[in-house]
Amino acid sequence: MPRERGEILRRAHDLLMARRPEPAALMTSEMGKPIAESLGEVAYAAEFFRRFAEEAVRIGGDYAVVPDGGSRFLVLRQPVGPCLLVTPWNFPMAMGTRKIGPAVAAGCTMVLKPAEQTPLSALAPAGMLREAGLPDGVLNVVSTTSPGELVGPLLRDGRLRKLSFTGSTEAGRLLLGQSADRVLRVSLELGGNAPFIVFADADLDAAVEGAMLAKMRTIGEACTAANRFSVQAPVAGEFVRRLTGRMASLSVGPGLDPGAQVGPLTDEAARQKVASLVSDAVGRGAVVRTGGGAVEGPGYFYPPTVLSGVTADARMRHEEIFGPVAPVTTFDTEEQVLGWANDTEHGLVAYVHTTGLDRGLRVSEALETGMVGLNRGVVSNPAAPFGGVKQSGLGREGGRAGIEEFLETKYVALGTP
Ligand code: NAP
């Protein structure tokens, strides 16, 4: 029953919120983000349960008279069927609940395959759903160190109807191909390369605040992370000076240390990638304003870093940095910066700072992204449709659109009795 499904989700939301510190500590231990951010993610993750508890009882249908008046039809909304959910390690709880919430609300059964590095952060909310009354067998969490061996056979299984994947564009492309054989319904939330644009008329305090949020959430390891900063020439020097001050003042340390604002990157490979992108940019002429070097001691730490004068051919302007590095480039005209912003295969999110309403709307319309943060450094909101265009994904999660991904439409033509 829709009401029962909604109430299970609502109880699971309340359990997660009541026990927040425990799953937050688990998440920080697994992937390193500062404990304050993990507490924030638990609340964000729980909100998907509350949001879809409310959607579960609003799955409507339609009844219509055909245009010539000669007959009637019904439109039914039915669960899509058994789903495979595959999630990444960077938001290890919320990326799961953003799929589980609408799937349960719609009435689907599911297998969740969490990332290899963060299985416990996915199991915690699953356990609470069970406590909240979710029947055995509805949600099945299967962890593995051989993702292809688990996911491949599931995609070929005749019972599966849908794949919902969040992760890299590379893996998403591969799974989209594998889903073609059985023409599965597919939702993909993939990588980004977000531009962060500051016009000369921007409120600079707000722009620096927005930049810190857009860059440093989850130590920069976010699909929504600002990846390319472009600042209009008259304010570029001042923006870089203020951003450098803020980045240099952040304390780096183990995520469980309550004083730490920047935790370690997820593994040595991630740190190596960030370091190589920085040396590539510096080799092409970028200037290090802060950070840029190694952090002493054990752990995969990388210091908050600001680079200015980053050239168009620097690798970091074309690849996800996935670390605490802000590369800044100066631009002259709106046309020029829009050209740069859209010159990428990705299209997840863009950030724009301007006090001009006309310009804000014009640029938001011209950006080839699924989301825009206009004078705002965070766009994620369980009530809103999250997702990308181009090679950043297919479909939307959150809001009303989130449950649509787990529903099929059936039309019944009514003959006159
Ligand atoms: P990933 O390597 O693509 O992994 C994501 C998930 O896919 C993991 O569970 C992974 O399992 C699994 N996987 C990887 N290769 C597979 C294969 N050949 N067959 C079946 N499953 C496979 O991505 P990640 O490094 O975990 O996450 C970072 C990426 O996710 C970034 O690109 C980021 O932008 C993107 N992301 C996007 C969003 C969004 O909403 N658009 C949100 C968060 C993250 P293993 O863990 O075992 O490898």
pLDDT tens track for 131-175: 999 999 999 999 999 999 999 999 999 999 999 999 999 999 999
Burial tier of 219 (Cβ tally within 10 Å: 0-12, 13-18, 19+): buried
Q: Is residue 248 part of a domain?
A: yes
**In-domain check, residue 149:** yes
Cα separation, 309 vs 314, in Å, equals 10
In a domain? residue 146: yes
Q: How many CB atoms lie within 10 A of CB 133?
A: 13
Q: Based on the fold, state whether residues 153 and 225 are members of the same structural domain.
A: no
Looking at the fold, whether 244 and 340 belong to one and the same domain comes out as yes
Query: What's the CATH code of the domain at 348?
Result: 3.40.309.10
What does the pLDDT read at residue 226? 98
Q: Mean pLDDT, to the nearest integer, of 12-18?
A: 98
Let me know if residue 42 belongs to a domain.
yes
Q: What share of the chain is helix, strand, coil (3-state, %, to 5)?
A: 45, 20, 35
156 strand-pairing partners: none
Q: Domain for residue 308, yes or no? A: yes
Q: Over the stretch 171-229, which tens digit does the pLDDT of each residue have?
A: 999 999 999 999 999 999 999 999 999 999 999 999 999 999 999 999 999 999 999 99
Does residue 380 lie within any of the structural domains?
A: no
Take atom 39 of ligand 1 and give the residue whose Cα is closest. Answer: 189
Residues in CB range of 38: below 8 A, 6 or more apart: 23, 24, 25, 27, 28, 255
Pocket test for ligand 1, best of 175, 223, 227 (most atoms within 8 A of CB): 223
Q: Domain with 126 in it: what CATH number?
A: 3.40.605.10
For the chain, the domain total comes to 2
DSSP code, position 310: -
Which one-letter DSSP state was computed for residue 409?
E
**284-293, pLDDT tens digit by residue?**
999 999 999 8
Of 30, 86, 118, the one to substitute when testing ligand 1's pocket (max ligand atoms within 8 A of C-beta) is 86
Looking at residue 293, its pLDDT comes to 85
Helical spans, DSSP H, in 137-262: 147-156, 169-180, 204-216, 233-248
Q: Is the pLDDT of residue 11 over 80?
A: yes
Residue-level pLDDT at 245: 98
348 lines ligand 1 (CB under 6 A): yes
- Burial annotation 292-319 (CB, 10 A radius, 16+ → b, else e): beebeeebbbbbbbbbbbbeeebebbbb
Phi/psi at 270 (5° precision): -65, -40
The atom number, within ligand 1, closest to the CA of 191 reads 34
86 lines ligand 1 (CB under 6 A): yes
- Residue 86 CA to ligand 1 center (angstroms) comes to 8
The answer to whether the beta carbons of residues 24 and 42 sit under 8 Å apart is yes
The answer to whether residue 108 is domain-embedded is yes
Tell me: do 125 and 244 sit in the same domain. Answer: no
Question: Domain check: are 298 and 395 in the same one?
Answer: no
* Residue 265 and residue 255 in contact, taking contact as beta carbons nearer than 8 Å: no
CA 380 to the chain's CA centroid: 7
Query: Nearest C-alpha to atom 10 of ligand 1 is from which residue?
Result: 115
Pairwise CA distance, residues 409 & 76, whole Å? 6
Cα 90 to averaged position of ligand 1 atoms, centre (Å): 9
Closest residue by CA, ligand 1 atom 14? 171
Domain membership flag for residue 379: no
pLDDT of residue 296: 76
Write out the residue range of the structural domain in which residue 73 sits: 2-190+388-414
For residues 252 and 394, state if they share a domain: no
Sequence-separated (6 or more) residues with CB below 8 Å from residue 262 = 34, 216, 219, 250, 251, 252, 253, 301, 303, 304, 324
Q: Is 410 exposed, middle or buried (0-12, 13-18, 19+ CB in 10 A)?
A: exposed
> In the predicted model, what is the mean pLDDT of the chain?
97
Statement to judge: residues 60 and 198 lie in one domain: no
Q: What is the arithmetic mean of pLDDT over 30-54?
A: 98
327 and 278 fall within a common domain = yes
The tens digit of pLDDT for each residue in 52-101 reads 999 999 999 999 999 999 999 999 999 999 999 999 999 999 999 999 99
Q: Going by CA atoms, what residue is nearest to atom 8 of ligand 1?
A: 115
Are 250 and 346 members of one domain? yes
pLDDT of residue 417: 60
124, 265: one domain: no
Please report the pLDDT score of residue 295 as a whole number. Answer: 81
Tell me the per-residue pLDDT of 293-346, one tens digit each, with 9 for 90 and over.
878 778 899 999 999 999 999 999 999 999 999 999 999 999 999 999 999 999
Question: Which of helix, strand or coil describes residue 369?
Answer: coil
The two three-digit tokens of residue 195, written as one number: 């531009």
Collect all residues with Cβ–Cβ distance below 8 Å to 373 and sequence separation of at least 6: 210, 214, 349, 350, 351, 352, 379
The answer to whether residues 145 and 231 belong to one domain is no
**250 and 209, same structural domain?**
yes
Site to probe by mutation for ligand 1, drawn from 31, 44, 90 as the one with most ligand atoms within 8 Å of Cβ, is 90
∠ Cα 221 224 230 (to 5°)? 105
Ligand 1 near 393 CB (within 6 A): yes
Half-sphere exposure of 67 (CA within 13 A, CB side): 0
CA distance 380 to 383: 9
Q: Are residues 244 and 343 in the same domain?
A: yes
Nearest-angstrom CA–CA distance, 190 and 223: 7
Residue-wise pLDDT for 237-260, tens only, equals 999 999 999 999 999 999 999 999
Q: Would you state the pLDDT for residue 298?
A: 86
